[in-house]
Amino acid sequence: MSELTERPRRLRTTAAMRRMVAETRLHPADLILPAFVREGIAEPAPIGTMPGVVQHTRDSLRKAAATAAEAGIAGIMLFGVPEEAKKDAIGSPGTDPDGILQRALRDVRAEVGEELVIMSDLCLDEVTDHGHCGVLDERGRVDNDATLERYAEMAVVQAEAGAQVLGPSGMMDGQVGHVRRALDAAGHQDVALLAYTAKYASAFYGPFREAVNSSLKGDRKTYQQDPANGREALRELELDLAEGADMVMVKPGLPYLDVLRRVADVVTVPVAAYQISGEYAMVEAAAEKGWIDRDRAIEETLTAFKRAGADMILTYWATEFAGRLGRRA
C-alpha cells in the first residue's frame, strides 16, 4: 500500500471535477473583436494570410458587429483601409470625417447602439503612403511631435464619429496625454483611452500588413519596443498612466506573457492583451495541416492570456469562441 497522502490527481479525475476547481474561466465579455473595413470593395475580401478573416465592406461589417453583439462579446476594434489613391504623407483619410474608418464607426454605432463597446485604432500606418505610424521629417524619420498633432486631430474626428474607446497604437512619446487633452478640449471627456503601452517590434505582425494593405517599407524599430526589453514596458506603463490612460495593453500576446503578468501585477486599471495576426495565423496554419487540434489550441491560448492577468483579450476568434462558450452554458 502506498503511503502517499498528497494526490493532486484527485482533482483531475473527471471533466466535471476539473471544471469545478478551474482557477481561470473565460467569458464572452472578456473578448474584443478586431475588424477591418475596406473602402471601394463590393464584397468582403478574404485575407490570404489570415484564413477566415476578411476585409469587410461597410454592409458586411454591420452584420459582423450585430453577430458579435448577439454572441455577448465586449467590444469591436475597427481598422479602416482607405483606397490606395487617397493615402498621402500625412494620412489625410485619418482626419477626413468621411474617411472609411469614420464612416464605419457611424455604421456600427447605428447597427448595435451600445450593445458593443465601439473602439477604433488611432494610428497613421493604415492611411499613409509610406506606411509608418507617424509623419516623416525631411530625413525620412518619424517625427514624434508632429505626429502627436495628427493623432490629436484624428482622435476628435473618431470621437465625433461615435468611437467610445480610442486605441493610440503608434508608440509615440506623449501620445496618451496629447490625445487626452485634445479630446477634453473638444468636449469628449467620456471617450476612454486604451493605451498600447507595451507594443513590441514583432515579427508576428506579418499577416496584419496584408489586412490593412500596408505601404510600409523598412521597419518600426525606432518607435516600437525592443523584444529584448521587459523593464522598459514598466517605464512606458508609468508614463501612460500619468498621462491619463484608462486601460493599458500588451501587444503581441503569447510571446510577451511575462510582460503581461508584470503589468497586471502593478496596475489598478484594466489590462488588455492583443492576440495578433501572426499568432492567429500560426494556429490556423498548423490546424489546417492537421498538426494541432484547432479548437483546443484556441482555448488554450486565450486561457493563457487570462491566467497571465488580462482582463480583456483582442482576438480574431472572439465571436466564434464566444459562441462556443454560449453553447456550454
Which pLDDT tens digit goes with each residue over 29-76?
A: 999 999 999 999 999 999 999 999 999 999 999 999 999 999 999 999
CATH number, residue 243 = 3.20.20.70
Residue 2 located in a structural domain: no
Q: Which pairs from 108-113 meet CB under 8 Å and 24+ separation?
A: 108/61, 108/62, 108/65, 108/76, 108/78, 108/162, 109/161, 109/162, 110/62, 111/62, 111/65, 111/66, 112/65, 112/66, 112/68, 112/69
Q: Is 221 a catalytic residue?
A: no
**Within-domain flag for 236:** yes
Report the chain's mean pLDDT, rounded to a whole number.
Answer: 94
Residue 85 lies in a domain: yes
Query: Is 63 an annotated catalytic residue?
Result: no
For residue 151, tell me if it sits in a domain: yes
Q: How confident is the model at residue 202 (pLDDT cuts 50, 70, 90)?
A: very high
Residue 4 lies inside a defined structural domain of this protein = no
Structural domain count, the chain? 1
37 in any annotated domain = yes
> Which one of 86, 251, 289, 306 is the catalytic residue?
251
Find the domain containing 237 and state its range. Answer: 26-328
Q: For residue 12, is it within any domain?
A: no
Residue 218 has pLDDT above 80, yes or no: no
- pTM score above 0.85: yes
Asked if 148 and 171 touch (Cβ cutoff 8 Å), the reply is no
129-183 pLDDT tens trace: 887 888 999 998 999 999 999 999 999 999 999 999 999 999 999 999 999 999 9
Query: Does a structural domain hold residue 6?
Result: no
- Options 63, 86, 87, 199, the catalytic residue: 199
